[in-house]
Amino acid sequence: MVLAYAAMLSSTLPFQKSVPLTSQRSGTAFGSSFQFNRENGTVVTPLVVCHAKKKLSFMEQILDYIEGGPKLRKWYGAPDILEKDGTAIEDNEDDYPEDEVRDAVLVTDGDSEMGQMVILSLIVKKARVKTLVKDKRVALEAFGSYVESMAGDTSDKRFVKKALRGVRTIICPNEGFLSSVGSLQGVQHVIVLSRLSVYGGQSGFQSMMKSNAKKLAEQDESVLKTSGIPYTIIRTGALQDTPGGKQGFTFDEGCAASGSISKEDAAFVCVAAFDCVPQTGFIFEVANGDNKVSDWKECLATLMEKASQKLQ
């Protein structure tokens, strides 16, 4: 929510550094100050002053955004997203010519918590975003004209072909997509947020609970490694519901199996990898740690070089 508001407000109010917002839930009021770095377009972690007794969770904030989204879009003059009868506008296949420039990023599982966090970070980055969702109407009301939302069966080759039109990069915040689709023709980079190291380190009941997720993650990586498409596999530590931007990072071997990382930080790392396309395949581990990263392009380039040297 914070990132989406930042994207809209920074583009329409370039001279304001902070904007007070009001929650749409139960009349609860809260104030937030969002600070923007105009040199690189990043968002500084906001200072939130809550006047309510209960601090809103991330999902409550997302719900606030979904409820307030239509009003904000109308306020800022964005086009309507529904027909007069209230039904969602259907995609016109002619709107996606085969020779369309590939400048979009497709986020799978766009209605999942991790998918939404990745999308919000991409909106701040002002990227052209497409996403696959289960409920297109909810996604349209949440993101409106800022994101092209598509719902369909990923085992349907016709739907997948349509979804991939204009797509240069795919970001998979959850496992299962790559093993369910066929051709990814035209895609130039695939980024996968993998919890395979975490799944492999679990035992007993936890291992049984995550056995299907582990299997899907293994299948996704196997498909990706034989696809011939440049890929980045980000193996994270256990995902935590903690604020992002508060801690540093570690990329040491084994940190994914033993460490943890904020979900917001994990989403940010996915988007940072968007600008760093490897020649073939690139796998690295990341968890929250003590190292502060000031230049992600340089950081990822260094990790890429180290990974390349290990393979020689």
Half-sphere exposure (CA, 13 Å, Cβ side) for 292? 3
Write out the two tokens for 238.
Answer: 């256990």
Half-sphere exposure (CA, 13 Å, Cβ side) for 242? 13
pLDDT at position 181 is: 81
- For the chain, the C-alpha Rg in angstroms (whole number) is 20
* pLDDT, tens digit (0-9, with 9 covering 90-100), for 115-127: 999 999 999 999 9
pLDDT at position 69 is: 52
Chain-centroid distance, C-alpha 14? 25
Place of tokens 């929510």: 1
All residue ranges of the chain with pLDDT < 50 are 1-53, 67, 70-91, 93-94, 96, 205
Query: Closest by alpha carbon to 172, among 249, 300, 275, 273?
Result: 273
- Domains assigned to the chain: 99-308 (3.40.50.720)
Q: Which amino acid is at 235?
A: R
pLDDT at position 254 is: 92
* pLDDT, tens digit (0-9, with 9 covering 90-100), for 144-170: 788 999 998 888 888 998 999 999 999
pLDDT at position 210 is: 61
pLDDT at position 143 is: 83
Q: Please name the helix (run of DSSP H) or strand (run of DSSP E) that holds residue 131, with its range, or none.
A: strand 128-132
Place of tokens 């052209």: 128
